[in-house]
Structure 1
């Protein structure tokens, strides 16, 4: 069977990470070269700079609740994007190691049946990937044009409220600042979405490996050619150990990213829902908030759904062992099977610093928390 290229599934994702400076070529990490210079300049001016000017402006609008809310839900998401870029750069060696592990023979599907078995998960990941980009693209588009289309009272409206050490009330500073905000938004959005979908893809890979292992275990004793059954069982044990190691390294890389995203999503979804109640209905700003809310929901759903799949698929290992044709095996093989079952009893759970597990229950809790923030803001605003 031809070797399956796991990385080909996320090649578009990796290309976008390369563009924003978060994926050095090959298996290398960051070196002293032009690519590293691009990383420093782009993150400093387009990511950090864009966030910095908006946060400074909050000092001047501190007494205006509406403007604070208008700035906060965007700024929090952009800070989360900066955090994601930092942890990708910090853990680049781990990420490249995960890609090397995926190319190993141990992680390869054994036959066409196993390949067909894992394809639905990749298809669902692609569906979420396109939905996430579509909703985010809609938000970016309406953010980019609503100051002009909505004809606000401000003579020089910008997409985002921000303070700059130059005047934005005259040409060409206004046009250049407008473009700077749009490019900064595009850069941060590409960074955040690419990291989110990469983590989701890594979780899909873990689930796919559990599917392959379960199929191997179901048919481990079907071969009557007299081969060493203990060796086949040991191979499965080794495969399970590598899957667990792959999952732990993925979790180690994503820990702080997921924790920050859960907090940011709960707050920003609530604030965005409130913002939709105070802007002009069916205006450009209204549609930007609507698209942004859907994008945040898809983002959290991806984390929780594919994390939940890992837990469900890891539980199937014990069932797969007992579904195999183990009755006629030797006592030694049966004893080794019992040891393996004892090792696999606890399901694999992806978490955020062991505070939150990636599950559908967590997704519903985040949605309820977001609604609570919305209700609180609506009550305060009414008073």
Structure 2
């Protein structure tokens, strides 16, 4: 395990350095072409994506123990109670995450492949290719061109794979929170009926079972709050950064494609890239919205249970618990921007506003 940890640290350092190198090359290129708006826009849309990926990687690199603790919670007894009625919900969450990961990974890799495929075709036609990074040699000469194109393909593919994997991991944390809230609601609604059923086939009394299962519900809710708080604490700043730059990324991508022919391969690759960015943003907002919704209707589940059949003592406990859940869990980016569908719409609207302004500005 010690050797494995050391090798993993070396791998993380090399991976981070690899992306940092490309980012520096992009910054140098932006400085060199700073007087040409079109060339700056060509460079900025991918530079911002690299900066976003670096921000997320820093969150993972700086909080390994907290992330490991969250994984322990997900594997723990409160999140995995072994009940048959919970199993479909948990399996559905895992299936959705795996499916989204495969689709998102492949979509990003396909986009990166198209980015290098069309420059190769143009090179065969002896057209001049302008790379959006600084290179210490003339990239339009052979064999330097193929060295540059392979390097760009490796860097962008590595970025796309890493970024999509990190996004789906963070999304899965939100999805897991939502699923656990759904399970909690189910347990709360069925608390009395479950205790009656178990009391009929066991030596335990209804009151003892009620005490046991009600305590379990409270502990489960506390674990959900802890899990959600840790997710928010680790990733709220990277998600905020994602929101801040997504508008500019969408804007610069639209600006870059506005003069392209819809029938061109380059246009198709940019549309795929736009889909990736919008999907990335939408997933955060969608699952954040799902968590908030499940948390808000948790109070309704308390009213739906057969509380009239509970002893007075446990009715008081229920009232205290209901006070506890009055404040719903609302994931926020940077503790400011709520992750909701409305926020997604606002970001897209802002992107269009930026694009309109930029498109009308004199070159």
The two structures have a TM-score, normalised by structure 2, of 0.91
Q: Tell me the SS of whatever aligns to 1:268.
A: helix
Residue 148 of structure 1 pairs with residue 130 of structure 2: no
| Aligned with 1:308 (options 262, 271, 289) | 289
For 1:167 and 1:97, the matched residues in 2 are separated by: 49
Unaligned 5+ residue runs, structure 2? 200-204
Residue 365 of structure 1 pairs with residue 336 of structure 2: no
Give CA deviations for 1:303-337 in whole Å, capped at 9, x if unaligned: 01111110111122211111111102111100010
Q: 1:85 corresponds to which residue?
A: 57
Residue 260 of structure 1 pairs with residue 241 of structure 2: yes
Alpha carbons of 1:169 and 1:277: their partners in 2 closer, same or farther (altered >3 Å)?
closer
For 1:34 and 1:130, the matched residues in 2 are separated by: 26
Unaligned 5+ residue runs, structure 1? 1-24
How do residues 29-68 of structure 1 correspond to structure 2 at under 5 angstroms? 31=5, 33-44=6-17, 46-68=18-40
C-alpha contact (below 8 Å) 1:146/1:283 kept by paired residues: no
C-alpha contact (below 8 Å) 2:101/2:165 kept by paired residues: no
For 1:315 and 1:181, the matched residues in 2 are separated by: 46
For 1:145 and 1:346, the matched residues in 2 are separated by: 52
Q: 2:327 corresponds to which residue?
A: 346
Q: 1:179 corresponds to which residue?
A: 150
Q: How far 1:126 moved relative to its partner? A: 4.4
C-alpha contact (below 8 Å) 1:118/1:211 kept by paired residues: no
For 1:375 and 1:120, the matched residues in 2 are separated by: 41
For 1:340 and 1:30, the matched residues in 2 are separated by: 44
Q: How far 1:87 moved relative to its partner? A: 1.2
Q: 2:75 corresponds to which residue?
A: 103
The two structures have a TM-score, normalised by structure 1, of 0.86
Give CA deviations for 1:38-94 in whole Å, capped at 9, x if unaligned: 3222321x2001111111011111111110111101110011111111111111111
For 1:330 and 1:57, the matched residues in 2 are separated by: 72
Aligned CA-pair RMSD: 2.2
Q: Tell me the SS of whatever aligns to 1:99.
A: helix
Q: Tell me the SS of whatever aligns to 1:278.
A: coil
Residue 250 of structure 1 pairs with residue 251 of structure 2: no
Q: How far 1:155 moved relative to its partner? A: 5.0
More helix by share: 2
Alpha carbons of 1:125 and 1:367: their partners in 2 closer, same or farther (altered >3 Å)?
farther
| Aligned with 1:214 (options 185, 188, 194) | 185
